[in-house]
């Protein structure tokens, strides 16, 4: 009854088309979600993620497994939704995307021996500005699906970096270098590092490098989307 009354006062509408959501729809209606560009299989997503990172870092960075749910295109409906997640206070979207991503991982039994989930952190000043970290919200959803602990305190961003948006590939590569450090010791050996969108992989590589210096033996990667060259 309470939920029904809240819906009457504050109707649940699609973030994109503003139509009323039907039962079972969350944040976006099924018609708008159909305009997203999902990967057909986890294997296809992982192969493209590996090629993307290798094209910028060669064989200098290797990771255990990798998952991305969607292909990211500029000026797409997915970009609008991720913008709402990142900049418009729609943090619950992150948990929703994270749960989907976790279920995607489980669908092919690839979660394996992952021991904990680590979100890519924001600099404290940027987190104050936004009031939350979108990658942390995504990681919360993944942790819920995988039933694995979330270690949000493990990794810290020690240097304020400008947004990767609008930077060249070379600038993206240099921008996050040396920006992260491990704040405390950990016993886990296989960590899942989580971000919202991978473009060149520079942020993931910088964060993973800090985790390896801290003692991680295996690092896997997960992101809601992987940017596609167009």
**String of DSSP letters for 35-96:** TS-B-SSHHHHHHHHHHHHHHHHTTS---S-EEEEEEE-TTSHHHHHHHHHHHSS-THHHHH
Domain positions in the chain: 1-35, 36-227
Coil, strand or helix: which one is 108?
coil
Coil, strand or helix: which one is 180?
strand
What average pLDDT does the chain have?
87
**Predicted confidence (pLDDT) at residue 68 exceeds the cutoff of 90:** yes
Average pLDDT over every residue of 38-52: 96
Question: CB–CB of 162/129 below 8 Å?
Answer: no
Average pLDDT over every residue of 128-143: 94
Q: Which residues of the chain form beta strands (DSSP E)?
A: 66-72, 116-119, 155-157, 180-182, 190-198, 218-227
State whether the Cα torsion 160-162-165-170 is positive or negative: negative
Predicted pLDDT of residue 134:
95
Predicted pLDDT of residue 6:
37
Predicted pLDDT of residue 8:
40
Q: Percent of the chain beyond pLDDT 90?
A: 63
Average pLDDT over every residue of 125-150: 93
**Predicted confidence (pLDDT) at residue 49 exceeds the cutoff of 60:** yes
Of residues 123 and 79, the one with the higher pLDDT is 79
Does domain 36-227 match CATH 3.40.50? yes
Closest CA to 140 of 99, 191, 170: 99
Predicted pLDDT of residue 229:
82
For 207, phi then psi, to 5°, come to -70, -45
Lowest mean pLDDT among 40-54, 161-175, 189-203, 213-227: 161-175
Q: How far is CA 159 from CA 180, 182, 195, in A?
A: 7, 13, 18
Predicted pLDDT of residue 169:
58
Tokens of 167: 């930077």
Coil, strand or helix: which one is 182?
strand
Average pLDDT over every residue of 80-99: 93
Lowest mean pLDDT among 19-33, 39-53, 165-179, 194-208: 165-179
**Predicted confidence (pLDDT) at residue 9 exceeds the cutoff of 60:** no
Considering the entire predicted model, what is its pTM?
0.88
């Amino acid at each position: 009854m309470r939920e029904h009354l809240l819906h009457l006062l504050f109707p649940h509408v699609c973030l994109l088309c503003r139509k009323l959501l039907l039962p079972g729809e969350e944040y976006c209606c099924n018609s708008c979600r159909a305009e997203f560009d999902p990967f057909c299989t986890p294997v296809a997503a992982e192969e493209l993620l590996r090629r993307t990172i290798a094209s910028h870092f060669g064989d200098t960075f290797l990771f255990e497994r990798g998952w991305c749910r969607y292909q990211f295109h500029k000026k797409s409906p997915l970009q609008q939704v991720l913008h709402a997640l990142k900049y418009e206070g729609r943090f619950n979207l992150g948990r929703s995307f994270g749960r989907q991503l976790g279920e995607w991982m489980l669908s092919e039994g690839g979660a394996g021996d992952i021991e904990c989930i680590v979100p890519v952190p924001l600099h404290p000043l940027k987190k104050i500005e936004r009031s939350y970290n979108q990658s942390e919200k995504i990681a919360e959803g993944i942790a819920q699906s995988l039933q694995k602990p979330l270690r949000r305190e493990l990794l810290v961003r020690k240097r304020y970096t400008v947004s990767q948006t609008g930077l060249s590939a070379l600038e993206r590569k240099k921008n996050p270098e040396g920006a992260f450090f491990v704040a405390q010791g950990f016993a886990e050996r296989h960590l899942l590092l989580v971000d919202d969108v991978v473009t060149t992989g520079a942020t993931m590589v910088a964060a993973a490098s800090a985790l390896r210096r801290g003692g991680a033996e295996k690092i896997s990667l997960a992101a809601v989307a992987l940017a596609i060259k167009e």
